[in-house]
A and B are shown apart, each in its own frame.
Chain A
Amino acid sequence: MTSASYRLSAGGRIDRSRRIGFLLDGEAMSGFAGDTLASALLANGVRVVGRSFKYHRPRGFVSAGIEEPNGLFTLGKGGRSEPNVAGTVTELTEGLVARRQNAWPSVEFDLRAAYAFAAPLLTAGFYYKTFMGPTRGAWMFYERFIRRAAGLGQGVHQRDPDRYETRHAFADVLVIGAGPAGVAAGLTAARAGARVVIAEQDSLLGGSLLLETVASPVEEWRREVEAELESLAHVTILRRTIALGVYDGGTVALVERRNPARPDPGAGAARQVMITLRARAIVYATGASERPIVFANNDRPGVMLATAVRSYLNRFAVALGKTAVVVTNNDSAYGTAFDLARHGVFVTVADHRDTIDSALGAKARALGIEQLCGATVIDVLGGKAVNGVVIARAVDGSGAQRRSCDLVCMSGGWSPLVHLTSHGGIKPRYRADIAAFVPDRYAAGQFGAGSLTGSLTLAAAINEGVETGRRAAAHAGHDAPASTLSTPRLETTGCSVETVWRLPHRHPDKAFVDFQNDVTVKDLTIAHQEGYESVEHLKRYTTLGMGTDQGKTSNINAAAMMALLKGEQIPAVGTTTFRPPFMPVSLGALAGRCVGNHFKPTRRSPLHDWHLAHGGELIQAGPWLRAWWYRWAGPTAQVAYIEEMRLVRTAVGLADASTLGKIDVQGPDAAEFLGRIYVNNFANLPVGKSRYGVMLSDDGTVFDDGSTTRLAATRYFMTTTTAQAGEVMSWLEFLLQTAWTDLRVSVTSVSDEWAAMAVAGPQARAALELALPDTDVSNARLPYMGCVETELNGVPVRLIRLSFSGELAYEVYVPADYAVALWEHVLAAAAPLGIKPFGLEAVASLRIEKGHVAGLELDHRNTLDDLGLGRMASKDKPYIGRELLQRPMLRGPERWGLVGIECLEPGKSLRGGSILFAATDKVAGHGRGYVTSVTWSTELKKFIALGLYQGGLTHSGEEIVCAFPLKGEVVRARLVSPMFIDPKGERLRA
């Protein structure tokens, strides 16, 4: 058969004037605008579209929609490669590249089909049973091969070049699904004045209406409704948009597939848009999905859902066979039978029911359709394509007879797509009359309409749509009187479903329940025999429903089979919990624009550009990009930071400290406020002086430290660590707004308003004298911990004499807009002293030598005493954390204390996080403490560290061992005072 003979010459919703070329496994093919990849492949005669998961059986398309389990392809090339995409929902676009999956060397001839011989070993739970011996370790040997054989498509490691967008949207009424119920609801709500958003996953509106031919009266109705919806400004129609999940507060996650052809990210075109939509009311009109029937070899290419065949015929003008068998338990399949017959296909209907509606019967006879009542298909013949069936009596499988055919259309009833309605935790309930689960009830402001609720006729769907549209609009505040919409006449108005579930009469090991994961009735039987009967166990033991289709064609059949095995009714078996996403979603859509540098916001110092322009290498510290080291000091970080340290210890350096948290605290009760939050006293701090302060959390552990300067009687300038700036600010606001509302204090963040730089080293004063010649910076005027507010060329400059490095040092604050100007001025003016910038690595190293605690020590587990700061706590006034600090566990001699550590082994280094042991300890278990911060000491010419050790400095002088088990390192060291340099603080007070 040539490809031309599968495509009908007329009819369908395709545009024959626009031919579209695409590639399948490298071979050029073509279709038309309006095709999906599936319809184009079927039109080209491609029947085998993949190999099944375990047994590598040849598979064809089963459906024409979102429930497709077999027809999965890898689309695209390179970074755009996307595996496991259902061809039935892929719009055909020019240049589409598609590859079939899970076969080698090809789908047509797949060597791995040999797995079929191992089929008895690969039944449910096989990896718990078959591959468990002969030794305990055997599984890990087999697991490697099994893992490689598992899966369907392959992912890639290349970067996805496409662009994904994120949007937020709001609506009065969101309608999910644009079938007859959905468009009726949307139109009714819109006519009542509500802002309506309609989300439809297809590229066309209409849902089940698209099954009818374009000549049908249904089509005219569809077009009219669509035209009216398009004409209303307050209606937004989102085609190609899937609702993935429903969350609290009427929030729905939608993914819109934009630009099906290759979008140009360079031009800002997005491939997909993730819309977080908040709706006052939601109408679910998601429809129902046809069920397969379970019989032997029901997975052969050419065995399809009846409505799928009808869709390919009427929408895509693809005829799939010349002789068809329709096996059904309900009326809707007759629509397919009649349409096939009208196209000259010889049709046999095997209807499970003993009697059928007389009107249907008459019409079937008139069209020359052979009808067999009380009959079913019990087996399928043919390997890569159907070439016949075995038909027998439905009740007991007797009277078997063969029939030739090249197409089997099965209709086992309808399963409403209830998923979204149960994301909020409301489980569906079973309706025996339609043999289906429907939503039990809805959250407030949410409604259901159409075949979703079990209303399987067109008239019922439209009427329900109108009613729910009105109620939804009213819930959103737009009242309108009840109304009706005209209903088009449909040919098959019957919907009766007689579902008597039966186990397959033959070959249960070839009767597939879940096509995608190769789960057969035999697997269900084994699960039942071994006690995995509850639906949750059944799912996980057999993997039924765990594929990309999430059991859309298998869940209900499985529940029915298990009910039969257990001798129970279906409701007792129940369903598993539905969770988002409803369909597979690309990670790109979830990430949106938050990729690369935009993954998190980046904060920059006002000196950022200067650092980059002058050899500064930047490092990420939390959200900040900070100057890490400078190239003037060396070619690598390891070399440069040592040079920078040496400069600060011998001359003078300049460091960017702008990231510090800075808070303005003012008011008549400011002193009282600070006294409550800090452990030490700030009420007696003289104006123009600064003091190091530590604040605790309520639980008695150290929360943050910083320096607070008194600028006036009722005004203080507080600094915090960079990392905790936001936490401290919120904490102060919390106390003032929720507990101490009587205190007259204002706190304001001024972190971004002030830039800060540290001038540090023995020549620091000389440097300031050169930079600020008109300001008295002598030791008398600006002593240690003093503050001077001055100006330079009219720009305010605040000097606070503080040291982090342990050298003579000053923190210089200037309004952020003048940061670069002052920085360059200081470097230029003090150039004769050899001043240069130094970075974060050197800053950290210098403070370790000095024994200053910082972020790595302030990890919220430590108390003041642990860190050697116990003497700071005031005995004259209460402070936050004082009470719970009294807890015995925070005070015992078993507590660790801050220690200095000297490496005793030249050539070896210390490592942060190492576990500490006494020299005589066995190196195992938790040890006695750990290393917090490490650096190379330029003064002592060895590796030093700060750490926490049980008993602290009572063990000063003792030899210890630093162990890093992850790298197998063990280094000998000695405990010493953490103040490695200048213990008397003479340099600070120079």
Chain B
Amino acid sequence: MLRIPCPLCGERDYTEFRYGGDARKRRPSHGLPDLKVWHDYVFLFDNVKGPHREFWQHVVGCRQWLVVERNTATNRVEASGLARVVLATREDATL
């Protein structure tokens, strides 16, 4: 089924990973005292049909969290990268 290319370990079967949800959401700053911001971060997400960015952790391998681009309609994995790298190069959230 799904094959996920881990940047450190190579292309591996999805059974070596655990899914971690929507990676487009940015975690609010720790302690941000805004109930609505936290509510939206925790409970709301777009159920996208098509290209999607999501978290997967290589639990049976290097234990790194990855940001994976997967098309939810075709279930094809287009790209993946280490979360610590991918998220660092994106604009910081304005929170």
Q: Which residues of A contact B (CB under 8 A)?
A: 247-249, 251, 278, 676, 698-699, 726, 730, 733-734, 737-741, 877-878, 880, 882-884, 886-887
A247-B1, A249-B3, A878-B31 known; A734-B57 Cβ under 8 A: yes
Give the residue of B3, B35, B59, B65 whose beta carbon is less than 8 angstroms from that of A884: B35
Q: Tell whether A883 pairs with B83 under 8 Å between CB atoms, given A730-B59, A741-B88.
A: no
What are 12 pairs between A and B in contact, CB < 8 Å? A248-B2, A278-B3, A730-B57, A733-B65, A734-B65, A737-B64, A738-B55, A878-B30, A878-B31, A880-B30, A883-B38, A884-B35
Chain B interface residue number, banded: 20 to 34
Residue of A nearest to B41 (CB): A698
A249 near B35: Cβ-Cβ < 8 Å: no
Question: How far does the alpha carbon of A887 sit from the alpha carbon of B39 in the complex, in Å?
Answer: 9
Chain B neighbourhood of A249, CB < 8 A: 1-3, 75-76
Residues from chain B with Cβ under 8 Å of A278 in the complex:
3
A730 partner residues in chain B, CB cutoff 8 A: 18, 57, 59
Say yes or no: B38 contacts A884, CB within 8 Å: yes
Given contacts A738-B55, A741-B87, contact A251 B30 (CB under 8 A): no
Query: How far does the Cβ of A955 sit from chain B's closest Cβ, in whole Å?
Result: 31
A887 and B35 contacting across the interface, CB-CB below 8 Å? yes
Number of A-B contacts (CB under 8 A): 65
* Contact residues in A for B39 (Cβ distance below 8 Å): 884, 887
Contacting pair B42 A738 (CB below 8 A) = no
Contact between chains at B33 and A883 (CB < 8 Å): yes
Central interface residue in B32, B38, B57, B84, by most chain A CB within 10 Å:
B38
Residues of chain B contacted by A880 (CB below 8 angstroms): 30
Assuming the contacts A734-B57, A883-B34, A884-B35, asked whether A741 and B27 have C-beta atoms less than 8 A apart, the reply is no
User: Chain A: which residue is nearest B43 at the CB level?
Assistant: A699
- CA of A741 to CA of B23 in the docked complex: distance in angstroms? 15
B36-95 at interface with A (beta carbon < 8 Å): 38-39, 41-43, 55, 57, 59, 63-65, 74-76, 82-84, 87-88
What chain A residues lie within 8 Å of B84 (beta carbons)?
737-738, 741
B20 near A: Cβ within 8 Å? yes
- In the assembled complex, the Cα of A738 lies from the Cα of B83 at a distance in Å of 6
A672 to chain B: closest residue by CB: B30
Which of the residues B31, B34, B65, B75 comes within 8 Å of A738, measured between beta carbons?
B65
- A739 proximity list for chain B (CB < 8 A): 27
Min C-beta distance of B58 to chain A, whole Å: 10
Residues on the A chain within 8 Å of B76, using CB: 248-249
Contact, CB under 8 Å: B42 / A698: yes
Chain B residues positioned under 8 Å from A878 (CB to CB): 30-31, 33
In the complex, besides A737-B65, A741-B88, A883-B38, 12 extra interface pairs with C-beta distance below 8 angstroms are A247-B1, A248-B76, A249-B75, A698-B38, A699-B42, A726-B59, A733-B65, A734-B65, A741-B87, A878-B31, A884-B35, A884-B38
Cβ–Cβ < 8 Å partners of A733 in chain B: 57, 63, 65
Q: Separation in Å of the B45 CB from the closest CB of chain A? A: 13
Q: Which residue of A lies closest to B28 (CB)?
A: A883
A730→B87 CA distance, assembly (Å): 18
| Bound form: Cα–Cα A120–B65 in Å | 65
CA distance A738 to B26 in the complex (A): 9
A251 touching B64, Cβ below 8 Å: no
Contact B31 A882 (CB under 8 A): yes
Set of chain B residues within 8 Å of A699, measured between Cβ atoms:
42-43
**In the complex, which residues of chain B have a beta carbon less than 8 angstroms from the beta carbon of A883?**
32-35, 38
Minimal Cβ-Cβ distance residue in A for B32: A883
In the assembled complex, the CB of A677 is this many whole angstroms from the nearest CB of chain B, namely 10
A209 to chain B, nearest CB (A): 34
Report which of A247, A726, A738, A884 forms a contact with B27, defined as CB distance below 8 A.
Answer: A738
Kindly report which residue of chain A lies nearest to residue B83, judged by CB atoms: A738
- With a cutoff of 8 Å between Cβ atoms, the chain A residues found around residue B31 in the complex are 877-878, 882
Bound-state CA distance A698–B82 (Å) is 23
Please report the C-alpha to C-alpha distance between residue A738 and residue B30 in the assembled complex, in whole angstroms.
Answer: 13
B72 to chain A, nearest CB (A): 11
Beta-carbon contact of A740 and B55 below 8 Å: no
Taking CB atoms, residues of chain B closer than 8 Å to A887 are 35, 39
B65 adjacent to A248 (CB under 8 Å): no
User: In this complex, what residue of B is CB-closest to A882?
Assistant: B31
Residue with the greatest number of chain B CB neighbours at <10 A, chosen from A247, A278, A739: A739
Please, how many angstroms separate the alpha-carbon atoms of A676 and B31 in the complex? Answer: 9
Q: How far is the CB of A724 from chain B (nearest CB, A)?
A: 14
Query: In the bound complex, do residue A740 and residue B30 qualify as a contact, i.e. CB atoms below 8 Å apart?
Result: yes
